[in-house]
Chain A
Amino acid sequence: MHREPLVDTDSWTVAGVTLRSRFLLGSAGYPSPEVLRDAIQASGTQVVTVGLKRTLVSGSDNGFIAIVREAMAAHNARLLPNTAGCRSAREAIELAMMARELYETNWIKLEVVGDEYTLQPDPIELVDATRVLVREGFVVWPYCTDDLVTCRRLLDLGCALLMPWGAPIGSGQGLVNPLALRTLRARLPDAIVIVDAGIGAPSHAAQAMEMGLDAVLLNSAVALSGDPVRMARAFRCAVEAGREGWRAGLIRAQDFAVASTPVAGQPVLLGPAESSTDDRQKG
């Protein structure tokens, strides 16, 4: 049964901004600014993540940010600054304030890491930072784990959406806990849920979208691939395919075969004993 029209009205809205693309792209680690620009174009993305670094540590950015700004303007798209590198709520709050001034946006991808090995988000610090930033007028995009209770707390505090990890950042493992993500979808049906981090292959993105999640955000899988522009296009196709699959309604998996070709009324040409030795009946 058709649940939705085929005409593409499949947009989503964050804080009053309507977006069509469900593929959010990170801007780090590309071989050159030109490759980044072409990858942004190939991806069709409308949201690109950016960061902040101390000037003496980072030096020149070799033109990457100028390219990102240019590409965003060309596609009427948005920048999403992050608080990468923060280890406490206080740090993240201060960095968010700086990001708002530098990028002239109140959108913030809130990252507060609690473990150096896995770069796992710290749920306590994340909730504390969210409480302050929402009060300060930010649209908070929290990078979080797939823990249902933490996610619910973040929504209760006023987060615009949720961004649970699929796997540790940059690991490329895909969705290591699909049950948790399905649970989020089932228990928070009205929340915008974006899988952020850990996606390595287009099939991982398609899997997330087929589960009814709303979008995917990734960086390394495109930037570090052999051909980032081609990979950006591949992910775009995968996200769209997965989304369309979910909209169409997947069939339920079963443990037994169900013939797809109708057999009722078909003539039986040979008996079982004869057909077992007849090659023409194979397939």
Chain B
Amino acid sequence: MNAPITITVALDGQPHQIPAGTTLAALVAGLEYAPSAVATAVNGRFVARALRGELQLQAGDSVLLFQPIAGG
């Protein structure tokens, strides 16, 4: 049986389909964010920018993207 073409991850809590084998770096790029514009976490753990290209996302992974915002 062939591997599924797409997998579903949770992106900021919402279901999001990506090609199997997609790296975190590719996901960020596909969303049209500059690499330095967001910080990333997968399954609750921070993933440094330099490591995003090595992290292949798995079905069911929870991906959170954070951006700068005003704060107190």
B window 28-61: CB within 8 A of A? 33, 36, 38-41, 44-46, 48-49
Q: Is the CB of A81 within 8 A of B72?
A: no
The answer to whether residues A102 and B67 also contact, given A55-B12, A56-B14, A220-B72 and a CB cut-off of 8 A, is: yes
**CB neighbours of B40 from chain A (8 A):** 98
A84–B72 alpha-carbon span in the complex (Å): 8
- Identify which of A26, A61, A81, A98 gathers the most chain B CB atoms within 10 Å of its CB: A98
- 27 A-B pairs (CB sep. < 8 Å): A26-B71, A26-B72, A27-B71, A28-B70, A29-B72, A50-B68, A50-B70, A52-B39, A52-B67, A54-B64, A55-B12, A55-B66, A56-B11, A58-B67, A61-B69, A64-B69, A64-B70, A65-B70, A81-B71, A82-B71, A84-B72, A90-B44, A91-B44, A94-B41, A101-B39, A101-B49, A102-B67
**CB neighbours of A99 from chain B (8 A):** 39
**CB neighbours of B4 from chain A (8 A):** none
Task: Determine whether A153 belongs to the interface, using a CB cutoff of 8 Å to chain B.
Answer: no
- Give residues in B with beta carbon < 8 Å to A: 11-14, 33, 36, 38-41, 44-46, 48-49, 64-72
Q: Is the CB of A50 within 8 A of B69?
A: yes
Look across to chain A and name the residue whose beta carbon is closest to the beta carbon of B33: A55
**CB neighbours of B65 from chain A (8 A):** 54-56
User: Could you tell me the dominant secondary structure of chain B's interface residues?
Assistant: strand
Q: Is the CB of B71 within 8 A of A54?
A: no
15 more A-B residue pairs beyond the given contacts A26-B70, A55-B66, with a C-beta to C-beta distance below 8 A: A28-B72, A29-B70, A50-B69, A51-B68, A51-B72, A54-B64, A55-B12, A61-B68, A64-B69, A65-B69, A81-B71, A84-B72, A90-B44, A102-B38, A102-B39
A50–B70 alpha-carbon span in the complex (Å): 5
Q: Is the CB of A98 within 8 A of B39?
A: yes
**B10 shortest CB reach to chain A, Å:** 11
The answer to whether residues A27 and B49 also contact, given A56-B12, A98-B41, A99-B39 and a CB cut-off of 8 A, is: no
Q: Is the CB of B71 within 8 A of A51?
A: yes
Q: Is the CB of A51 within 8 A of B69?
A: yes
The answer to whether residues A219 and B72 also contact, given A53-B66, A54-B12, A56-B12 and a CB cut-off of 8 A, is: yes
A58–B38 alpha-carbon span in the complex (Å): 13
Task: Determine whether A21 belongs to the interface, using a CB cutoff of 8 Å to chain B.
Answer: no
**CB neighbours of B36 from chain A (8 A):** 102
**CB neighbours of B72 from chain A (8 A):** 26-29, 49, 51, 82, 84, 169, 219-220
**CB neighbours of A50 from chain B (8 A):** 68-71
Write out, one digit per residue, whether chain A residues 191-227 have a CB within 8 A of any chain B CB (1) or not (0): 0000000000000000000000000000110000000
Q: Contact check: which of A30, A65, A97 meets B68 at CB < 8 Å?
A: A65
Task: Determine whether A246 belongs to the interface, using a CB cutoff of 8 Å to chain B.
Answer: no
Look across to chain A and name the residue whose beta carbon is closest to the beta carbon of B12: A56
**B31 shortest CB reach to chain A, Å:** 8
Q: Contact check: which of A56, A58, A94, A95 meets B69 at CB < 8 Å?
A: A58
A223–B39 alpha-carbon span in the complex (Å): 27
- Identify which of B12, B13, B14, B39 gathers the most chain A CB atoms within 10 Å of its CB: B39
Closest 10 CB pairs of A and B: A51-B71, A98-B39, A26-B72, A219-B72, A56-B12, A97-B46, A27-B70, A64-B70, A55-B65, A65-B68
